[in-house]
Structure 1
């Protein structure tokens, strides 16, 4: 048994360094007149290359009215600092990596260029990084990136939003620091789904900004999110049904006397539903109002018109039969009968009740067409944005 353990130790090796070796390593490294003010590189004409990748953990929030997006993730940073090279054999034989703190070494001072609140560095002084024997440094600082992002709610609730986190290193030109994305998109292996938004695509790229004679690089972390619209459809569906139900008031008999009451009840119900869902509607006015707001406004105006027409129709229906309607009412009554393919008999008389019934039939068809057109125009307008 002892021989087997000895054989395994010889074949696979055993970590032999101690904490004393690690302390000695740190003393030796930082006693070499290491100055963290200066970026790595003996030849100052060669820029320091920073390899970058982004791990996205979750979408914290997206607030349209405030123009704010919050992303929880880790911006991985890697570079080589040849001042931190050592020989492992001098420190227990296998001390090939150690932990260093940000406040002890040179690190790129990277900040968010479009923060929602205040500017703060990505690498905080209290964070730690890993250093390898070759001078390779890796930092994985977790962070919450709260950035400003203008929302376009034109197609709400079937909208998608594209936001970009812009990061740069103030004080360093493109001739001094180069950003090199390791991946062209976010690493989503540890991503936790958001209940309101789904991530459609991500992109990581570098943009060179020119300001007078100065060039500096901006790291662009772009994310496209789409609203999960099922919840909003369920909320808005009763509004659509109420509008179509309101048209049925013209199918009620005028003798029942409930037409005006029914119309007012439906109108109040619609107003009540709109009051309940108003907090769900987007408040942004730029770059444009949501098509849904225009659609709901037209629906509400049609409901008011329906109620007014019902009142007028009821007044006409209850007029004395001895009074013949005006010539225009007679013409409309004849036109409705023609549409209904009713043969006009010679000597037919037209009374106010006929005029009221004619208005009912005309309005039933007209408002049905108008309401259908309003919905069709809305859904056609947003169809290009919807992906089933």
Structure 2
């Protein structure tokens, strides 16, 4: 029994020694193998045994980081790398003879395809650098992973800024080859996010990969959504506060003499926010003007109207009583009182205004006060409607 166990141990040791001998490769042996495999290669010829055959190029894009998306300039800056693979029919070998399954080498030794960015932001750019390396397997599969910082053009749609969602594309197409020479095949139908680091301004929502067969162009589309809270706190809410403060100008006593200055100050503050938002948006109206720009423009118009009505009401309020109130103004005051009483007053006041009507003596101060009340109600309703339309527009 002991001899049988000892024999098994001897056989096991012998097999392990054979395994080590067959798969231990010295530097000199590997150098000789490398020179035999890569020597005499013409990097200008496609790696096919039949020149009429096509080379299938498999490609995918791995996104690492979104550096910047400048919607004003339409520039998207990405950091990532491409995983490109093809079969080199001149580089296959039998791995069982020498134990070499794969190895790496500099990319300038053998043939590689040329690709350019189809939508570059500045100039025509190739997607690789000469210091990249390649990995080749015993079956002839070559894997190439060029990486860089890529700047592409992306036309931003800021119609719902800052609640906007952008779809930007990274377009890649072969350079110098026809459809009869190479065929580009996407490995995945999405952008790989294995090493992706989230960006603080934009959220990566979705991605897709499409191909144009006529020019072998791959489009890596990325859907980005902006984080809006910073802009809500620093732009939208201050605008809402400014326009609400505008209404309180009609509550200031006309005797204070500060009404016009107050209204003009609020108008200038809203104009400043309009300038700030314009600096952060592209100077374009396609597909349409931004909702925040329309909101600010409407607020500026309302503020300008408030300034005009404050001046008019102050003029009527301070008019001397020696000038009789015109028939039109008496009618305006009576109609305004009746309408307001039908909405919120008691029955006795309704009858009082209905019976006396034009018989009651009306002074210019009452005309000014009535103008303030009517303008305050109408402008409040207009502000509520405008802001509701903005919320509906950005939410749908």
TM-score (norm 2): 0.87
Worse-superposed segment, 196-205 or 34-43 = 34-43
1:84 aligns with 2:91: yes
CA distance in 1, matches of 2:379, 2:279: 29
2:363 maps to which of 335, 351, 365: 351
CA distance in 2, matches of 1:182, 1:353: 79
Asked if the contact 2:278–2:293 (Cα under 8 Å) also holds between the matched residues in 1, the reply is no
Asked if the contact 1:153–1:284 (Cα under 8 Å) also holds between the matched residues in 2, the reply is no
What is residue 321 of structure 1 aligned with on the other side? 321
2:148 maps to which of 118, 143, 147: 143
Task: Tell me which stretches of 4 or more aligned residues in structure 1 moved more than 6 Å.
Answer: none
The 1:311–1:148 alpha-carbon spacing in structure 2 relative to 1, beyond 3 Å, is same
CA distance in 2, matches of 1:238, 1:191: 35
CA distance in 1, matches of 2:323, 2:231: 52
The 1:10–1:325 alpha-carbon spacing in structure 2 relative to 1, beyond 3 Å, is farther
1:295 aligns with 2:311: no
What is residue 375 of structure 2 aligned with on the other side? 363
2:130 maps to which of 125, 129, 134: 125
Worse-superposed segment, 342-351 or 313-322 = 342-351
1:205 aligns with 2:201: no
1:163 maps to which of 168, 179, 191: 168
What CA deviation, in whole Å up to 9, does each residue of 1:88-123 have, x standing for no partner?
355xx3222111221111111111122111223223
1:21 aligns with 2:20: no
CA distance in 2, matches of 1:362, 1:74: 64
What CA deviation, in whole Å up to 9, does each residue of 1:316-360 have, x standing for no partner?
111123433211111110011112214325331111011111101
CA distance in 1, matches of 2:120, 2:177: 19
The alpha carbon displacement at 1:251 in A equals: 2.4
Segments of structure 1 that go 5 or more residues without pairing to the other structure are: 210-215
What is residue 346 of structure 2 aligned with on the other side? none
What is residue 42 of structure 1 aligned with on the other side? 49
Asked if the contact 2:72–2:280 (Cα under 8 Å) also holds between the matched residues in 1, the reply is no
SS class of match (2:366): helix
Alignment of 1:1-388 (within 5 A): 16-31=24-39, 33-90=40-97, 93-209=98-214, 216-236=215-235, 237-341=237-341, 342=349, 343-344=352-353, 346=356, 347-384=359-396
Asked if the contact 1:282–1:290 (Cα under 8 Å) also holds between the matched residues in 2, the reply is no
Asked if the contact 1:329–1:355 (Cα under 8 Å) also holds between the matched residues in 2, the reply is yes
CA distance in 2, matches of 1:126, 1:147: 23
The alpha carbon displacement at 1:313 in A equals: 0.7
CA distance in 2, matches of 1:195, 1:84: 45
The alpha carbon displacement at 1:150 in A equals: 1.4
Worse-superposed segment, 7-16 or 240-249 = 7-16
The alpha carbon displacement at 1:125 in A equals: 2.3
Asked if the contact 1:102–1:124 (Cα under 8 Å) also holds between the matched residues in 2, the reply is no
The alpha carbon displacement at 1:59 in A equals: 0.8
Asked if the contact 1:22–1:98 (Cα under 8 Å) also holds between the matched residues in 2, the reply is no
How many correspondences in the alignment? Answer: 373
Asked if the contact 2:267–2:303 (Cα under 8 Å) also holds between the matched residues in 1, the reply is yes
Segments of structure 2 that go 5 or more residues without pairing to the other structure are: 1-8, 342-348
The alpha carbon displacement at 1:301 in A equals: 1.3
